[in-house]
Amino acid sequence: MTRDQVGEELPNLAESKLTALVVDDSFVNQTIHQKLLNRLGIKNDVVTNGKEAVDVYCSGGNYDLILMDMDMPIMNGIQATKRLREMGIESKIAGVTTRANEGEKKEFMEAGLNDFQEKPLTISKLLSILHKLNFYVQT
């Protein structure tokens, strides 16, 4: 979904009460991804590695969508995604990473992702994720 297809008017998804968790060790990417989500009216939180994401769920947290980076210290995105799925977590997980060769993408997808986007994340790519995961229907 390109920005032209979206049009200049961005959807406000605040009424849908969607929630998202940003999982990324880069402060630059955390800031950008949170801003993208805020722009669409999606409440969100951020953690800095896969283990923190797992801990959030172990503590009773829950989100509609997880934006999961691949390369992170302590627990990477592949390990965290596998762990969350083993725990029975059904939140939609979108992998967001600069690693885009087919082998790495396949490994990440097979860990339990619902979707995958190559960084840098943009409004168009985020809307594409939301559309594919049925959180947003373009009118």
Residues that bind another protein (CB under 8 A): 26-29, 31-32, 35-36, 39, 71, 98, 119-120, 122-123
d(CA 2, CA 89): 31
Helices 77-86 and 102-110: crossing angle, nearest 10°?
20
The CA distance from 13 to 77, in Å, is 26
Q: Please state the closest distance from residue 122 (CB atom) to another protein, in A.
A: 5
Select 42 or 57, whichever has its Cβ closest to another protein: 42
Dihedral sign, Cα of residue 120, residue 79, residue 105, residue 19:
negative
Least separation in angstroms between CB 121 and another protein: 8
Nearer to another protein, 25 or 64 (CB): 25
Looking at the Cβ atoms of 31 and 62, the one nearer to another protein is 31
Taking the C-alpha atoms of residue 33 and residue 86, their distance in angstroms, rounded to an integer, is 26
